[in-house]
Amino acid sequence: MIDYIPFHKPTITEDEVNEIVEAVRSGWWTMGPKVVKFEKEFNSYIGSKFSVAASSWTAAAHLALEAINLVADDEVIVPAITFTSTAEIVCYFAAKPVIVDVDKQSFNIDPKKIEEAISDKTKAVIPVHYGGYPCDMDEIGELARQFNLKIIEDAAHSLPAFYKNKMIGTIGDATCFSFYATKTLAAGEGGMICTSKQEIADRCSIMRLHGISHDSWKRYSAEGSWYYEVVAPGFKYNFDDIHAALALAQLKKIDIMNQQRREIFEKYNAGFASNELIFLREHKIDRTSSHHLYPVLLDVDNLTISRSRFIDELKDLGIGTSVHFIPLYRHPYYKNKFNLEEKNFPVSEFIYNRIITLPIWPSMNDNQIERVISAVNALTRKYKR
Ligand SMILES: *Cc1c(COP(=O)(O)O)cnc(C)c1O
C-alpha cells in the first residue's frame, strides 16, 4: 500500500499547541487580547495602516462592501474563476455581481473584460489573486481612477504576495484575507480586512460586532464598564482568541512556509518543463505569488482520457488533487439568476475543462514531490493520443 499524498495538509508544530493551550487556560475565549495582538502583528507584517480581524474572508469582505456603502442595484465586477464567496457577498446587498472572463495566461481577471463590463451602476471591482498570483493591479487601478470604482481585493490565497514590490494588502481600498483551514495561514476559520482608509477600518470594526461603538469588547475587562451604544444594525462577525492563537503561531512561520511552497513550485516547474501535454501559467518577474495553489492545464485535445478520469487515475496512484474552481456561471444560482451562458466565457471554459490543482503544502518532502511529478508525466505519456 503506497502512502496517500493528500491535496492539503496543515503545518502543525508545538507552537500551535502551546498557543491554543494558553488561550484556553486564559479563560478569554472570544475576541480579546490575542485578536488584538494578531491584528497588530498582521498589520505590521503586511505594512498596512489598519487591519481588522473577522470570523472569515466572507465576513471580512461583506464588512468591506458595507463600509464602501454598497447598496441595492449597484454592480460589482468579479472574475468567473473564483469561489462563490466572491460573488455571494455582493448578493447580500441585492446588488449585482457582474461576472467577467479571465486571462488565459494568468487565470486572473482580465482588465479588458473589466472595462467592457463597466456601467453607470458599477461601484466596485473584486480582483481575485488566483492561487496567490497577483492580478494586473496597475491596469485595474487605472480603470478604478477613471471610472471612480472601489477596489476590494480577494486575497484569500495571497499571503504573502507582491505586485511590483508592493505587498498584497497595501494596494486596493480594502484587501481581504482568509485564514480558513486550507489557506496559507490556517487558523481553522478567520479573516482580515487591510486598508489604508480610516473610515473603512472604523466602519468594519464597529459593524463586525453588532454595530456597537468602539472597543466594546473591553467592557468585561478591568478597564471596561457596562455601558455601550449601538450605532447601526451590525453583524456577529468578530474573530476570537482561540482561532487567533492558531493564527499567531502560523504567522510566526509564514515566511518559512512560503519558502517551502516556492521550492515545491520550482521543482514542479522543472519536472513538467519538457511535458508538452501540460500547460503551466505565466509567472511574470514583476510579481510574486504566495503559491497557495499549483494549477496545471492538461492538453485534453491530445489525451485519450478526460480531466476527470485523469484525476481518478492520480487518486489510484495515491495522489490527491482538486479543481479550482467550478466557474461561477456554471452554478445554477448565478446561471439562472443572471442568465449566463458558457459560450460567453471562452477562456474560463478553456481553463475549467483542463485544470487540475496539484498538492502544494509546506511539509511535502522530496519523495512526495517526485511522486507527483512522475505520476503526472507517466499518465500523460500513457494516454497520449
Ligand atoms: C476560501 C476562499 C474564500 C472564502 O474564505 P472564507 O474564509 O472561507 O470565507 C473567498 N475567496 C476565495 C478565492 C477563496 O478561495
DSSP secondary structure, 268-300, as one string = HHHHHTT-TTEEEPP--TTEE-----EEEEE-G
Q: Which domains does the chain have, with CATH numbers?
A: 14-252 (3.40.640.10), 254-382 (3.90.1150.10)
Active-site pick, 112, 121, 183, 267:
183
Answering whether pTM is above 0.85, one says yes
Looking at ligand 1, which atom is closest to the CA of residue 82?
13
CB half-sphere exposure, 220, CA atoms < 13 A:
8
Determine the distance separating the centroid of ligand 1 and the alpha carbon of 79, expressed in angstroms.
14
Cα separation, 167 vs 85, whole angstroms: 23
- Ligand 1 neighbours (beta carbon < 6 A): 56-58, 82-83, 85-86, 128, 154, 156-157, 178, 180, 191
Cα separation, 89 vs 58, whole angstroms: 7
**In this structure, which residue's CA is closest to atom 6 in ligand 1?**
57
Cα separation, 271 vs 378, whole angstroms: 12
Helix (H) or strand (E) holding 111: helix 111-117
Question: Do 132 and 158 form a contact (C-beta atoms < 8 A)?
Answer: yes
**In this structure, which residue's CA is closest to atom 5 in ligand 1?**
57
Q: Which of 195, 189, 234 is nearest to 216 (CA)?
A: 234
Determine the distance separating the centroid of ligand 1 and the alpha carbon of 356, expressed in angstroms.
19
The arrangement of strands across the sheet holding 75-79 comes to 50-54, 191-195, 174-178, 150-154, 122-125, 75-79, 96-100
**Residue 8 in grid coordinates:** 492539503
**Which mutation among 76, 83, 135, 153 tests ligand 1's pocket best, with the greatest number of atoms within 8 A of CB?**
83
Is 183 in the active site?
yes
Instruction: pLDDT tens for the chain, 385 residues: list them.
Output: 679 999 999 999 999 999 999 999 999 999 999 999 999 999 999 999 999 999 999 999 999 999 999 999 999 999 999 999 999 999 999 999 999 999 999 999 999 999 999 999 999 999 999 999 999 999 999 999 999 999 999 999 999 999 999 999 999 999 999 999 999 999 999 999 999 999 999 999 999 999 998 665 566 666 677 888 999 999 999 999 999 999 999 999 999 999 999 999 999 999 999 999 999 999 999 999 999 999 999 999 999 999 999 999 999 999 999 999 999 999 999 999 999 999 999 999 999 999 999 999 999 999 999 999 999 999 999 999 9
Helix (H, G, I), strand (E, B) or coil at 255: helix
Q: Which of 167, 127, 161, 164 is nearest to 144 (CA)?
A: 127
Cα separation, 189 vs 179, whole angstroms: 5
Strands 191-195 vs 96-100: parallel, antiparallel or unpaired = unpaired
Q: Which of 61, 57, 36 is nearest to 241 (CA)?
A: 36
